[in-house]
Chains A and B, each alone.
Chain A
Amino acid sequence: MSKKGKGFWARLEDVPREVLYVILLIVFIIPMLNPIGFPVPISDAVKKWYATIDAMPAGSAIMIDFGYSGGGEPELGPMAVAVYHHIFRKGGLKSITMSTSIEGPLLWDKVIAEVKPETYGAKYGVDYIHIGYISGTETAMAAVGKDLRATTNTDYKKVSLDQFPIMQGIKDASSFKLLICYTTGGDQSEGWVRQWYTPYKVPYLCSVIAMMVPTMLPYQKAGQIVSLTAGAQAGEMELLIKMPGRGIKSADVITLTHLLVFAFVIIGNIAYYGRKASERAGGG
């Protein structure tokens, strides 16, 4: 360090965080306002997810868990929207949703408002339904898997399930051909493996926030999860179903912000070694 204070390298190394925040904010805002349209590769996991739903025979029931909180909505919401588009466009599938997150029913309302199932001719209670938030997380999964009606006998608006044609023949986990979970919590993503895949062998698709992926990878490698995606891959799903939405818009942001962080890491290291070199040389 020079006698006059910090040298160039030291100052570069200790750039005030506010400067980094502003640069990140600018890089974040620009593609949000003016989408660039960077290419997006479609991963094998998303292709497998798509193929799994596409291969489902007509009349199959799908259990969907909206197990995320409001904080995860920007990441998992677009994925849920894209998957619902796929399900409704394919047609003939029964989507029965429950929530292991207390915010789930409210977030489900937002997703359904965005999907507009009526444009596909899908009707509430016939093609899709929400049976509400069920407390207890893993206990709720186990109870619903054992006997759905004993756990809840109304939908999320407290209307009797007997009034909905979609619920005919739905008794327990064995009534479902597929399980989908969107979640921000490990209790949910891992709980479904323990409570539905292991005892009933219900094929399981799981979408989590990106930081949870390493935790869930062993389950996928063991074949307990058919496909594991991060919510940030919603853009890939939107490309597959040919319906660009929030996910593909955020793909530009993800690319640019990741590149920015990569550049920051390089600059940080250059500054670190620059300072070390200048210290060795006795300068600043």
Chain B
Amino acid sequence: MSLLVRRQIPILIVFVSALLVMVDYFLKIPGTGPVVKDLQNWGIILTAFALGFGAVNLFYLHTRHISRRTAGQWPFSIWLLLMIVVFAVIGVATGPTGPQYSWLYNASYFALNATVYSSLGFYMTTGCYRALRARNAEAALLLVVGAIALLKNAPAVAVGIPVIIPAEAWLSAIPTTSAQRGIMIGASLGAIALGVRTMIGRETGFLGRLTEAERRGGT
């Protein structure tokens, strides 16, 4: 495949698409609206397609585990593929909000998901017990701030010790927000830089595997 097809045309498509979306977002030029609307709807379709593609990829990966009898893995791979098939068949047959599919979801995935998430509380508790130690001045400061946040989020304590509420509010409004803004501005600048580099073809990760020469712009 020529470099034009593999590299230059995709970069041109990305450049034009990104430029159109940006112009529509920031400048509101009337003619760009319908084009960007179509682009966004294509994006939605492609994302939905990616979900199906992900399932195919899972099949590919886990059938290899099964055929190779990967130690400690292949029985789980069988179970995973079986569940994908069960969910897919029932979902297609009864609809993704049909009673059978809803039952399956509520009785399995929903319960497991909530259980795994709630188990974080146990890890956090032991983490607090072992890590929140006033070993030095910085750790002591973290401990005090953590304790204030902890107590403020215990509703009855906040009623009993009202001073906790404005103290936590100040911590949230000033130090936390300031630090978070700094992080966000830094991340946004990074995203802008990445976007510009992608538009002009300096970032080629989205093109898949290229040879070193192609990455440098050669043939």
Residues of A within 8 A of B (CB): 15, 17, 20-21, 24, 38-41, 69-74, 102-103, 105-106, 109-110, 133-137, 139-140, 142-143, 146-147, 150-151, 156-158, 199, 210, 213-215, 217-218, 221, 232, 235-236, 251-252, 254-262, 264-265, 267-269, 272
Contacts and interface: CB of A to CB of B under 8 A. Distances in A.
B180 A217 contact: yes
A214 B155 contact: no
Nearest to B105: A106
B114 A70 contact: yes
Contacts of A254: 153-155
B169 to A, nearest CB: 9
Nearest to A107: B110
A17 B158 CA distance: 28
Contacts of A106: 96-97, 101-102, 105-106, 110
A255 B155 contact: yes
Given A199-B25, A251-B155, A139 B122 contact: no
Interface of B: 25, 33, 36-37, 40-41, 43-44, 47-48, 51, 95-97, 101-102, 105-106, 109-111, 113-114, 116-118, 121-122, 124-126, 128-130, 132-135, 143, 146-147, 150-151, 153-159, 165, 172-173, 176-177, 180-181, 184
8 contacts: A38-B156, A39-B155, A105-B97, A106-B101, A136-B40, A151-B40, A158-B95, A269-B134
Given A39-B156, A146-B37, A217-B176, A157 B95 contact: yes
A146 B97 contact: no
A68 B157 CA distance: 29
Nearest to A258: B154
Contacts of B129: 15, 20, 261, 264-265, 267-268
A73 B154 contact: no
A20 B173 CA distance: 33
A39 to B, nearest CB: 4
B133 A272 contact: yes
B200 to A, nearest CB: 22
B154 A143 contact: no
Given A135-B48, A157-B97, A265-B128, A143 B40 contact: yes
B158 to A, nearest CB: 5
Contacts of B105: 70, 103, 106
Contacts of A20: 122, 125-126, 129
Contact of B37 (A38, A103, A150, A232): A150
Contacts of A221: 173, 177
Given A69-B113, A106-B102, 16 more contacts: A17-B122, A17-B126, A21-B125, A24-B122, A38-B156, A71-B114, A74-B114, A105-B96, A106-B110, A135-B51, A151-B44, A156-B97, A215-B180, A236-B155, A260-B125, A268-B129
B123 to A, nearest CB: 9
Contacts of B134: 269, 272
A143 B37 CA distance: 6
Nearest to A25: B122
Nearest to B178: A218
Contacts of B176: 214, 217
B130 to A, nearest CB: 7
Q: Which 4 A-B pairs have the closest CB atoms?
A: A71-B117, A38-B156, A258-B154, A70-B113
Nearest to B112: A70
Contacts of B157: 255, 258-259
Contacts of B122: 17, 20-21, 24
